[in-house]
Amino acid sequence: MTFATLGLIEPLLRALETLGYQTPTPVQTQAIPAVLAGRDLMAAAQTGTGKTAGFALPLLQLLAMEGPKVSANSVRALILVPTRELAEQVHEAVRQYAENLPLSTYAVYGGVSINPQMMKLRKGVDLLVATPGRLLDLFRQNALKFNQLQTLVLDEADRMLDLGFSEELGNIYRVLPKKRQTLLFSATFSDAIRLLAGQMLNDPLSIEVSPRNVAANTVKQWVVTVDKKRKPELFIHLMRKGKWKQVLVFAKTRNGVDALVEKLQGLGINADGIHGDKPQATRQRALDRFKASEVQILVATDVAARGLDIEDLPLVVNFDLPIVAEDYIHRIGRTGRAGATGQAISLVCADEVNLLSAIETLTRQTLTRQMEQDFEPEHRVPDTDASGQVVKKPKKPKKPKTSSGGKRNLGKWVESGDASAPEPSIKPVRKVPVFNTGPRKKKP
């Protein structure tokens, strides 16, 4: 199978040849002909399998061969994504694919000034990549019209719901033309997404090229158990022991990102962080420096779980486990991409046992556990398995207490120095009884 046999036009084939694409992936093989045929599509494929090309290539071909020239402040195709990073990544891929086509493309998202975006849209854009919030801002300011829209793509729609974009998606849906092609692409599909697909798609073709919610088998995964307060110390120990050169680290909170970056920098380690409180320009600069190997450790919240495409990234570390189990798949999907192998290490404390259990249930695998010498946790992490059970070991029975003087507890009697006496089967008492041997007093 080649890209030519899928029906792609020559300008796209030349662009793919320049990019080094040789053989289509399974999701591309199934999606490209369906999109070219005008079908609505619901496709599930694990991250790193080439789904962006699966919808972008046929979409660009349709735009190049069909429909009128784009009007002022209008768009002909719209790709919705959950984060700024993913918007940049998808648009860069689209721009490369469209290199030899007479089409205009652009990306809009929050965190940067809206004015340059409004200026760019005045002439109209054939294909627009956008985050939901900024798209609605532009529409409400009359900088954007949808009367020419032919195709809507929802990329990582499950993540959009996780980030609270359900109301925005509903508002966008109400202002779009009813007659259009709609494509849903994601690594995972929750029941809420399937409900959304039922509302927005018309007789969609369903594609699922990998088992639902399964992490890539190119990524070696394991867990290191540790007490919560010793996680930073353990991370630094593992980094030095493994001589890590380029590591993407995920922390649960923005404060957690800043604290770990500050600690690493204090030790002279070249580290930087990405989270939602940082300006987009700062986030992009940190990412660019990490890709260029100018930064050794990049620490991020789940804002970076999707949308980071780092070539040959060898290692992902979950400093904290994600609250949403599906985000684990997207986090570790930053490594082991495009057929390469990678590693994913999770530092897990006792407080995170339920999160670990949810991940194992979702991925249908029990993660291998290790303990690092001198970092054995005082608070044991209960055993878990892929069935979703947290296995609690039975408590050990308490041994009868013995005193330092060699006294053995024999029920209510105490005998000194008799080491050969048998162990009592009666529950011991704590105090030695005191007997009054004097004359008994008469009761009044």
pLDDT at 20: 87
**79 is written with which tokens?**
């790709």
Question: What tokens were used for 320?
Answer: 């904290």
Strand partners, 412: none
Residue 203 pLDDT: 86
* Per-residue pLDDT at 188: 66
Per-residue model confidence as pLDDT tens for the chain (444 residues): 889 999 999 999 999 999 888 889 888 999 999 999 999 998 886 666 788 999 999 999 999 998 789 999 999 999 999 888 889 889 999 999 999 999 999 999 998 999 999 999 999 999 999 999 999 999 999 999 999 999 999 988 777 777 778 888 888 989 999 899 999 887 666 777 778 778 788 888 888 875 555 566 778 999 999 999 999 999 999 999 999 999 999 999 999 999 999 999 999 999 999 987 888 788 888 988 998 899 999 999 987 656 567 778 899 999 999 988 878 888 888 887 766 788 999 999 999 999 999 999 888 889 999 999 999 999 999 998 777 667 655 455 555 555 444 444 444 444 444 444 444 444 454 554 554 545 555 554
How far, in Å, are 58, 131, 144, 149, 197 from residue 157 at the CA level? 20, 11, 22, 19, 10
Given this structure, which CATH class describes domain 4-208?
A: alpha beta
Cα 329 from Cα 217, distance rounded (Å) = 11
Fold of 219-391: Rossmann fold (3.40.50)
The torsion angles phi and psi of 255, rounded to 5 degrees, stand at -60, -35
Q: What is the pLDDT of residue 273?
A: 93
Per-residue confidence (pLDDT) for residue 239, from 0 to 100: 95
63, 103 contact by CB (below 8 A): yes
Domain 4-208 and domain 219-391, same fold? Reply is yes
Domain boundaries, given as residue ranges, for the chain: 4-208, 219-391, 397-444
> pLDDT tens, 31-78?
999 999 999 998 886 666 788 999 999 999 999 998 789 999 999 999
Give the pairing of strands 390-391 and 383-384.
antiparallel
Whole-angstrom Cα distance, residue 429 to residue 50?
Answer: 71
Half-sphere exposure of 188 (CA within 13 A, CB side): 24
pLDDT confidence of residue 306: 60
pLDDT on residue 331: 87
pTM of the model: 0.64
CA 330 to each of CA 159, 226, 334, 359: distance values in angstroms, whole numbers, following the listed order: 10, 23, 7, 12
User: Which of 282, 313, 271, 333 lies closest to 84, judged by CA?
Assistant: 282
Tokens of 36: 């070219």
